Structure 1
Amino acid sequence: MQTVICMKWGTRYGPEFVNRMWAAVKRNTARPTRLVCLTDDETGIDPDVQCFPIPDINLPPNLINTPWRKLVLWKSPLADLSGDVLFLDLDLVITGSLDVMFHFEPGRYCVIENWTQMGQGNGNTSAFRFPVGKHADIFDNFQADPDRVLSSYRIEQLYISREVSDMVFWPDLWCASFKHTLLPPWPMNFFKAPGLPEETRIVAFTGKPDQDEAMRGEWPVKAGWKKLYKHVRPTPWIAEHW
């Protein structure tokens, strides 16, 4: 049994994001696969998704709803999980088979090479596979002294990248960034819709636009001058896969 896990807290992403992910996981796996969701509210989530409470973590109140909360995934024990588990953020679209992501470099922490820091040894935790319990010190050390970690690292994925010695990056284009990989460069983004490489399995929509906004060709921006370059054409393939 393959296990995909996600997390949902607060109100930005409703239960429909979890349900869409579950439908996409089923479409893109040939082997038996389940979806586990760590959440503070399982209302509206498909009953076939296995929900567990988010474990407690020693975080300041202003950081509890930030990606730092994902450090609970390194806790041991963690729900009923064991072996290699694939974590996926809710702000992504699954566009290809996930099965191969369970066979790649078994027993190691596999993560996206951060698109904006290529060659610097930094992972992006939008999609990563990890061996449950193998690196529990990541969680334990943070719990013991969060101020030390928070003063040393700006974001959790940098902390993990420095703590895991056997980190390996996914092959190129398996995990693409909508903004940094697929969006045509300015000014072509005003005339050409983002494409989708055949080998891409996951497209991450970090920041803005969200999946539904990019699908419609909308990019919400607060500063008027940013409209001069923050633009996306309607992207039909999102509706096909999301």
Structure 2
Amino acid sequence: MSGEVYGTERPRKKRRGRRLLITLLIFLILVGGVLVGLDRFAAGYAERMIGERVSEQIADQNATSEKPEVSIEGVPFLTQVLDGNYERIRIQLANLSGPAGNNRTVRVADLDVNADDVNAPLDTIRSGSGPIVAKTVTGTGTIDYPQLAELIGQPGLKLAERDGKLVGNAPVQALGQTFDVSGTAAVTVKEGVVQVRFSDVTAENLPNVPIIRNLINSYVQKLSVDLRVPELPLKLAVQKVEPTPEGLRFTAGANDVSLNAAGV
């Protein structure tokens, strides 16, 4: 036997190839981490700028809110920048408060705004001039029932949602007695104003006499209220209102909205 050993070179090449592959994978992971970090940094910067502009808009409208929370959805962010189109920009406003007419103030606990299909060419972003437009903007918010009852201003009035309708009840004095009256309200929107109109007001054991009916009719008129939601950012206009267990939930919308004032 010659004593020669064959096949020792191949395992060494395999080990070198394996180390090279591991090194490449680590490099790609590091590069990917840097790119993800850069992407999130750029998105965070844009989100802060949008939040600042929205805050300025709210202040210009004599309204107040907590610091807007802005998130640019869809990933990666830098790809959207290069393409000039953004899937969705979400703006959340907590405790929005503003004038509602007749020296009244309305508070909206949470306003959730979505700007969809935003077109912002890279040249516009770079130069700071040119159109930045969202194809659609929608917003939803809720006015709670204790606040609505306070705005109506009738003592003892309690409001709630029942079977998708706004219902109310309150004590009424008549003939030296206190009657608990209740009724259902129609809630509509007309030219951006929320209108609450009660009807079918009834009460148990209430005498069916003209003087009592006139008293109840007069009381029903006092329950009517026209409520202007605080001026909303991004030219949002109230389109629909519906009773929910938490309060009157409104939906606002606008099309082809310029976002330049919001600082996109």
TM range (shorter): under 0.3
Normalised TM-score (structure 1): 0.23
Larger Rg over CA atoms: 2
Could you say which structure has the higher strand fraction?
2
